[in-house]
Each structure stands twice: as C-alpha cells, then as structure tokens.
C-alpha cells in the first residue's frame, strides 16, 4: 500500500506538469496562428507593390529563371524543426520530407536547420548542415531569426543573382516546415522561395488592382523592386516559421492530451489496485476478529 501511495503521488505530480504544458501549448498555438493571420494583409500589400513594379517601364528586360529545378546552380534549404521534445514525430516528419525532396536535386544542397532536434536528424542522414539556428520562443523573436537567415543566405550566395538581375550563380532556396491542417495537427510542406522565376512574375503581374486609381513608382524602379523582393522574402520566411511554431505547439498539445489520458488510466488502475488491497486488508482484519471471537466463545463454552 505504501508503494502504491508513492506511485499515485508521482502520477498526480506528473499530471500537473502535463496539464500545465497543455495550457502553455494551447496559448502558444493561438498567438502563432494569430500572427499568421495578421501577416496575410502585409503579404498582400507587398504583392501589390511588386505588381506595380513589374508593370512599370523597363522591367521586362530583367533575367528570370526558368520553371524547372535546373534554373539554379546552388540549392539551399531551411528546415524548421524544434529544440524541445514532447512533440511526437514532428521533427522526423519534416526532416524525412526535406531529405526526400532534396535527394532529387543535383549536387549537395546547403542546409540551415532551425532547431537542435531536426539538426540531429539531418546530420544522421549524412546531409551537410552548414548552419544551426535556435527556435524562437515567442512571436517577437521570429523577426531577428528571419534576419539572420537572410544575412547568412546572402553571405554565401550572390544576392543580385538571387533577385534575378545578377551575373553570378543562380541560387535556389527551399523552405521545409510543418504547417497546421484541418485534418490533422500538421502536415509537411515545401515552398520554393528562390529563384523568382517566370511563373512567379506572371502570377504577380496578373493580380488585379483593388481600386480604379492606378499607382506609380516613385524613384528608381529597380531599387523599389529590390526592396519589395526583400520584403517578400522576409514575409515568406516569417510566415513559414510562424506556421512551424504553431504546428509544433499543436503537436505538443496533442501529445500532452494523450499523456493526460494515459495518466488518467494509470491513476484509475492504481486507485483500483489500492482500494482492492485496502479492502483485502480490511477483510483479513475482520476475519481475524471473527475468528478470535469464535475461539473465545468456544473456550467459554
């Protein structure tokens, strides 16, 4: 009985920790999903600005990559994972999806990992991971991370070629992350951020302007285009990171929910065994009392 009491107390303490983590995960999911929704308006504004620049005079002679995977010489990839555990198969799923996709590309890509656990999965698979970034712990910490990723990417490759206007090697950049879904907690996703190819330009060019007043580009068309493309890259990376964090916390929430249910079942079994053991001890004591009473009655007779 003393051993069962210790097990019950330990399970109660563990359940308190699990329920606290559930509350934190649920709160985090909400703030990251809200940040993604808030970002959609800004993303739309950047797209409209790019639409205006592409319609301006003199932009038709820019060099744009083709639509295939061979449109670039160097492939880079940013894989978003987690630093902490208790997220189920979150890191295994995104790492496996990234490795399967990158294996189809020519040459060995340059990979940046966001999260120690996904970094370990990528390194074990033999892919060169040239950079490791810590996972943001809040929405405010996403912007500095995105800035560091962009600086690291531009340091290794020719940024003018990245924007489709340089003479250096063309650079491809993929984003791999888990995004929230309605059917399950998350699903792996891949977004080819670079190069900015003909399809990307045509899609933006065909966007309808929301009003009847057509805008004009002030100053240099090329400088404005470059600035908007940097904002486009920033917003795309920010959204991928926020969706990955929302998926991570949704996965942790689901894992904690399963753990809570398992602890409830375990506590139920412990309490049942405790009550049975206690009832058995009471029955033995009552049997001893009755036996003693009968023995004393026989002696008196």
Domains of the chain with bracketed CATH = 2-17+262-300 (no CATH), 18-255 (3.40.1380.10)
* Cβ–Cβ under 8 Å, residues 119 and 95: no
Query: What's the average pLDDT block by block, 10 residues per block, for the chain (301 residues)?
Result: 88 89 86 88 89 68 46 77 88 93 82 93 86 92 92 66 43 88 84 82 83 81 84 92 92 88 91 84 80 80 72
Q: What is the C-alpha to C-alpha distance for residues 19 and 80, in angstroms, rounded to an integer?
A: 26
Smallest Cα–Cα separation from 195: which of 101, 62, 100? 62
Give the tokens for residue 186. 């998350």
CA dihedral 82, 83, 88, 90 (to 10 degrees): 20
The overall pTM is greater than 0.75: yes
The residues, ordered by sequence, that sit 6+ positions from 195 with a Cβ below 8 Å of its Cβ are 64, 65, 71, 72, 162, 164, 170, 171, 172
Half-sphere exposure of 3 toward its Cβ, with a 13 Å CA cutoff?
Answer: 2
Q: Which pLDDT value is given to residue 293?
A: 77
pLDDT of 28 reads 87
22-38 core/surface letters (b: 16 or more CB in 10 A; e: else)? beebeebbeebbebbee
Q: Taking the alpha carbons of 232, 233, 234, 236 in that order, is the dihedral positive or negative?
A: positive
What distance in Å separates the CA atoms of residue 267 and residue 277, rounded to the nearest whole number? Answer: 15
Count the residues in the chain: 301
Nearest to 122 by CA among 86, 150, 93: 93
The whole-number pLDDT of residue 184 equals: 66
- pLDDT at 196 (0 to 100): 79
């Amino acid at each position: 009985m003393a051993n069962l009491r210790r097990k019950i107390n330990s399970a109660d303490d563990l359940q308190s920790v699990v329920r606290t983590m559930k509350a934190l995960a649920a709160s985090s999911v909400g703030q990251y999903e809200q940040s993604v929704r808030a970002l959609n308006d800004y993303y739309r504004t950047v797209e409209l600005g790019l639409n205006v620049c592409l319609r301006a005079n003199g932009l038709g002679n820019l060099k744009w990559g083709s639509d295939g995977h061979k449109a670039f010489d160097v492939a880079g990839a940013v894989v978003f994972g987690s630093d902490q555990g208790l997220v189920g198969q979150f890191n295994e799923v995104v790492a496996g999806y990234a490795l399967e996709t990158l294996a189809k590309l020519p040459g060995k890509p340059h990979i940046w990992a966001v999260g120690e656990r996904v970094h370990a999965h990528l390194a074990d698979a033999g892919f060169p991971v040239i950079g490791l970034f810590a996972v943001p712990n809040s929405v405010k910490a996403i912007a500095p991370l995105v800035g560091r990723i962009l600086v690291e990417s531009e340091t290794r490759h020719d940024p003018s070629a990245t924007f489709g206007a340089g003479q250096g090697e063309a650079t491809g950049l993929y984003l791999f992350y888990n995004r929230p879904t309605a059917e399950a907690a998350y699903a792996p996703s891949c977004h080819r951020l670079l190069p900015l190819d003909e399809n990307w330009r045509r899609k933006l060019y065909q966007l309808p302007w929301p009003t009847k007043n057509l805008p004009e580009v002030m100053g240099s068309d090329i400088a404005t285009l470059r600035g908007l493309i940097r904002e486009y890259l920033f917003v795309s990376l920010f959204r991928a990171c926020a969706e990955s964090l929302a998926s991570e916390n949704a996965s942790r929430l689901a894992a904690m929910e399963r753990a809570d249910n398992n602890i409830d079942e375990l506590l139920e079994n412990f309490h049942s065994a405790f009550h049975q053991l206690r009832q058995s001890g009471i029955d033995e004591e009552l049997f001893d009392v009755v036996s003693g009473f009968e023995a004393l009655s026989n002696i008196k007779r």
